[in-house]
A and B are shown apart, each in its own frame.
Chain A
């Protein structure tokens, strides 16, 4: 069954039709790419999927359940986590605390404010378990050595990785990556590709990503949807889509 199913999704800002009749189906464990020129509406779709914008029409189904128009927090609890095009870390918190903040809603780590203030046994138990889980996640991204650093002191590439780690901490069914390779040099991009592949294997994660870097897209995505002016231009297997003359004209240049 499809983890994410989007049917006839559309949104208008006043008279501007930003996204129109958008359909998407992402299978479990798939690595799906969403590409398109600047202003095509890719991030707008992400924002609708995560509840930042309310779609004007259409439906979003996560594991068969309708999540259209739900608030961001609820959608995260349902199982969609994301990263941002411009990195949004909790800059003044430590690397470890960034991930621990991601564990906020995991049942096994929840305790009340009063428990925290009074430092009841539950506090120590939950914090200890949180530390372990967070370190585990950091190790996956090779960030465990920097756990006590302030997030803003990490180099750019590691900040991107930390953002993915934080998103994974919320234990999602679907991970949305908004231009994960933006601002990276070829080496870092290569490393990132490996990380994304690893995350997918390790966590059996379903990933939907927006990307401009064609090498990355061609390298790791199984399926692609190409967006142009808010409409689907092409959709299908990566190799075929990238050969499509329409796509080449619109996006890659003639």
Chain B
């Protein structure tokens, strides 16, 4: 029972940090103390936090390395942007439209997660990483060649060009291949972003501390033993992977609705992005949900805050990455931390007095 309250306390602290950060930012924004640069980065910040926390579910909790997370984000982004563009006139309330778009994006990404998870999760370790990397790239490249239009006859899909859609004159091209989607409504804002972050955190922490989460972590720790006590390996692996994909889809929805033009570039949906998310997760501590959240925020803000240093900023960014890595994972650093941790020093002094 004591342990239960401990985990509850820890998750409440995590939610508290988010709420506090939100209020803090809002006050700064309202009083005009925030630069437009920083304002512009608030929603992407939420996107990265959602991505990092959701990837942690695959890497930290399920214990499988996935390098295709940006692919699921891409699915969520495009599915929801298509939905929002089609519904632009029908639904005029932005929040409602966003909520429905979110549902569409999450479901599409989740289904993709199941479809890709079924063949891919038979692999483990490096092999799984390579195949997920490939799937991520496939999704991005597919989206780049798709032309999608809608007219009075319904939807038209082509992989050649806009002309081959053969639409009626009243038709509207939604996805223009590599040009992506233009003119979709920008329904998201910082408040929605923070709400989404909170939802993600609640979903992942509650999942981890449930019967399902225990089964998933049991598989991570020892597959053979998990099987021997009657845990269905395939089911829980796919479940964890697809929930992780669905949450990445949610991040994609937020991302898509923050921009008026959505294109699938290597920069936003390629493997660069997947690896960046992985960096957040590894740096924040594999399996630590609060850690990946904080790492995502710090590592997104850092390059922006260092902008005045011009060409040196990426250098400092790299140094911070390496230093954090050493501090978190190197055995001697761990020893050092244990020896000089504030709690321990305090404890020692207490003993000395006695």
What is the interface of chain A, defined by CB distance below 8 A to chain B? 50, 52, 72-73, 76-77, 81-82, 84, 88-94, 96-97, 100-102, 104-105, 109-111, 113, 115-119, 123, 126-127, 130-131, 147-148, 166-167, 169-170
Contacts and interface: CB of A to CB of B under 8 A. Distances in A.
Given A91-B222, A110-B211, A73 B3 contact: no
A89 B222 contact: yes
A90 B211 contact: no
Contacts of B353: none
B230 A77 contact: yes
A119 B229 contact: no
B328 to A, nearest CB: 16
A117 B217 CA distance: 16
A117 B206 contact: yes
A131 B1 contact: yes
A92 to B, nearest CB: 5
10 contacts: A89-B222, A90-B225, A101-B214, A104-B218, A110-B211, A115-B210, A116-B212, A117-B203, A130-B211, A170-B230
Contacts of B218: 90, 93, 101, 104
A118 B203 CA distance: 8
A97 B214 contact: yes
Given A116-B209, A119-B206, 8 more contacts: A73-B227, A73-B232, A81-B228, A92-B217, A92-B220, A97-B217, A104-B230, A117-B206
A184 to B, nearest CB: 20
Contact of A88 (B206, B224, B231): B224
A1 to B, nearest CB: 24
Interface in B216-248: 217-218, 220-222, 224-232, 239
Contacts of A91: 221-222
Interface of B: 1-4, 202-203, 206-207, 209-215, 217-218, 220-222, 224-232, 239, 287
A97 B225 CA distance: 14
Contacts of A92: 217, 220-221, 287
Contacts of B2: 148
Given A110-B211, A113-B212, A117-B210, A73 B225 contact: no
A114 to B, nearest CB: 9
B229 A89 contact: no
Contact of B222 (A90, A102, A111, A148): A90
Given A92-B217, A97-B214, A123-B210, A147 B227 contact: no
A73 B231 contact: yes
Contact of B229 (A117, A148, A166): A166
A162 to B, nearest CB: 11
Contacts of A109: 211
Contacts of A102: 229
B221 A89 contact: yes
Contacts of A77: 230
Contacts of A169: 229
A82 B228 contact: yes
Given A90-B221, A91-B221, A96-B3, A50 B207 contact: no
Nearest to B221: A90
A-B interface, 8 closest residue pairs, ranked by CB to CB distance from nearest: A116-B210, A76-B230, A90-B221, A88-B225, A113-B212, A105-B230, A101-B218, A148-B3
B211 A104 contact: yes
Contacts of B225: 84, 88-90, 166
A109 to B, nearest CB: 7
A50 B227 CA distance: 10
Contact of A113 (B210, B217, B221): B210
A166 B214 CA distance: 13
Contacts of A113: 207, 210, 212, 239
Contacts of B224: 52, 84, 88
Chain B CB within 10 A, most for which of A50, A73, A91, A123: A73
B215 A104 contact: yes
Given A117-B203, A117-B207, A147-B3, A93 B214 contact: yes
B211 A111 contact: yes
Contacts of A111: 210-211
B3 A101 contact: no
Contacts of A82: 228
A102 B228 CA distance: 9
B4 A131 contact: yes
A62 B212 CA distance: 29
Contact of A101 (B202, B207, B226): B226
A100 B232 contact: no
A169 B229 CA distance: 9
Contacts of A170: 229-230
A100 B214 contact: yes
Contacts of B226: 90, 101
Contacts of B222: 88-91
B95 to A, nearest CB: 22
A170 B206 CA distance: 24
